[in-house]
A and B are shown apart, each in its own frame.
Chain A
């Protein structure tokens, strides 16, 4: 769902990669959590994720869901960022078939899908091959 409240609420994560870190055990959460799943701690400090990492799993989406048909085919991947946190995002700016596990990538700020019913543009991070 791409509605103004959803876009606004997710802005710190989608635009700025804001995460949090358990004050007790140091585990990093993206998105930020209220309870640590490792030690059940409830105190956190804000941290920002690194914007570089490597691909740990990938696929080429050829039958997209509604909202993504103009991009198809496109590469989706799981990226392990420097520091160890994993995110899921599109891997752009390259032939989707050529993305392989281990590819070093950088995160960039991009438009993610077509305008939804409410006409709000959906921006967030996409990974691109490291230059």
Chain B
């Protein structure tokens, strides 16, 4: 396999973008990434998108987006793994370049979520759960993560305030991100007194409904230095794992096994330990998710995810910053775009171009993108190329 690098990145602002269609969102992000890389032609493209059919009525978007990007007849593939669709699109492109089949591949993600009502959006998202044995009974995604929270609190004594602190930290980071949907600070008290969604989770524990798109350009690492003029980032590892999509079928409700397995494979592929990574962008679709993910990634020990946020370990100025972009919580969560937006942030940090939210130490960063309540997980490790 050839080494693979990222030579261009682009994303739209995240938010309720009433005037932008699915195709326009994608094309804006894709053009930004192609301009950043200084290229006008692609060999192929992959697009992560969870459910354009339920959110907009449109399927067959691989061809649609290639056409509107002015790149048809290049091969274009839509990739779906619920909220991990974006991360998985990157992994597909990674293999296409690594194999030698293509040199210039765009990996993007997009979701247009605000064309439908809140109830319809909740329904669309709940299709990532087991339709016959979870969604049928009336559970929602906040409900599934709320049950994980209830089990984590019972097993490890995690405090309600610890969940709130994840939101406080990520909003503080998102405040400095010009692309973020919610650039506002929140306090523990505000989180605790916000509208209840699924106990113990309140609205400020949940990532929002968001429109947005992101894209990156891949090429072989040996061509990247010349093409990216010193701003290239190498993909050290790409790993993916699955688990039962029905939450109740897992032995330990608090343990995100797909994330743990993907992370273990990624560390092995990169020849690294968790301590060799400087920071991470992780899938904080709900505050409890970030707590469980930091444990599954080996950043902290099992049961210590709450303590990590309480002590400031995962703060922007902490030992291991998590979600310097603001995470899904503050930046927004256009589901199919999220996995690529995480990579966008890690590349921005590795290049030293993150402005006010720039981390002091950013040589290697990790992304963790998760589908459903943990039925799939994709982990990438990226390193700056010198």
Contacts and interface: CB of A to CB of B under 8 A. Distances in A.
B198 A60 contact: yes
Contacts of B118: 63
Given A61-B143, A63-B140, A88-B139, A101 B197 contact: no
Contact of B137 (A57, A59, A89): A89
B133 A65 contact: no
Q: Most B CB atoms within 10 A — which of A1, A60, A61, A112?
A: A61
A41 interface: no
B250 to A, nearest CB: 9
B134 A88 contact: yes
Interface residues of B, number: 36
Interface string B232-270: 000000000000001111000100000000000000000
B249 A86 contact: yes
Nearest to A113: B138
Interface in A36-84: 56-69, 71, 74, 76-78
A21 to B, nearest CB: 15
A90 B138 contact: yes
Nearest to A87: B248
Contacts, number: 100
A101 B138 contact: no
30 contacts: A6-B132, A59-B143, A59-B149, A59-B150, A59-B201, A61-B140, A61-B198, A62-B198, A63-B140, A63-B197, A65-B119, A67-B123, A67-B138, A69-B119, A74-B138, A76-B137, A76-B147, A77-B147, A78-B248, A78-B253, A86-B249, A88-B133, A89-B137, A90-B138, A101-B151, A101-B154, A112-B138, A113-B138, A122-B136, A124-B137
Interface of A: 1, 6, 10, 31, 56-69, 71, 74, 76-78, 86-90, 97, 101, 112-113, 122, 124
Interface of B: 118-120, 122-123, 126, 131-140, 142-143, 146-151, 154, 196-201, 246-249, 253
